[in-house]
Every structure is written in structure tokens, then in C-alpha cells.
Amino acid sequence: MSQTATKGGPRARQAAMLCRSAAFRLYLDRRRRHKFGLTDSQLPDGTHDEQDARDWLCAACGIESRAELDHRPEAERIFRQIRNRFNAWRARNRETS
């Protein structure tokens, strides 16, 4: 039996768009600074790039590929939580969106 790659659907596309978002990458910068007590000079805004965002998102959701978001309910639930937290942060920080 041959293994085929899991195809991504709407969640995978949403995740890819999120990782391309400069506002989401800024959120990751500021989240990491806050979590680890870093200063702006230790972790400046603009540190996370699209690949960093992808890697972080996959690790947070416990997946290897964003395509898995469309096939693993627990990963999709975590992704929704991340997206909701980001959207709440963005609403509080209108200048970053």
C-alpha cells in the first residue's frame, strides 16, 4: 500500500494565510517576548518570518504539516484557539493589524 501525502483543505489554507500575515508574526514576536521576559532589543519586532510562524504553528498544534489541520480534530481545535487568541490580541492592538 502506498502512502499519499495528506491534502490540505480550508484549514490548511487559513493557516498558510495566517503565517504570511505580518500582524500574526508580530503577535508571535510580542508573545515570545512576554513569555520569556525578553526586551525589545533581545527580540525585536520583525524577528519571526513566515517559516518561523509555520514551524511554531505546527509545533503548537502537534502536526508536521498544516494539511493535517483538515484531518486531525484535536489539531484543528488548537488552531482555532490560536486564531481566536490572535484575533483578540489584534482587536486590542489595532495599530498592528
- Give me 30's grid cell: 510580542
Grid look-up 484575533 returns: 87
pLDDT, position 51: 98
The pTM (predicted TM-score) of the whole model is: 0.87
pLDDT tens sequence across 54-96: 999 999 999 999 999 999 999 999 999 999 999 999 999 885 4
CA dist 24 and 89 (Å) reads: 10
pLDDT, position 5: 61
CA dist 66 and 27 (Å) reads: 19
AA letter at 43: L
pLDDT tens sequence across 24-56: 999 999 999 999 999 999 999 999 999 999 999
Q: How confident is the model at residue 7 (pLDDT cuts 50, 70, 90)?
A: confident
Domain boundaries, the chain: 10-96
Give the chain's end-to-end CA distance (angstroms, integer): 47
Alpha-carbon torsion, ordered 36, 42, 43, 44, to 10 deg = 140
Asked if residue 12 has pLDDT above 50, the reply is yes
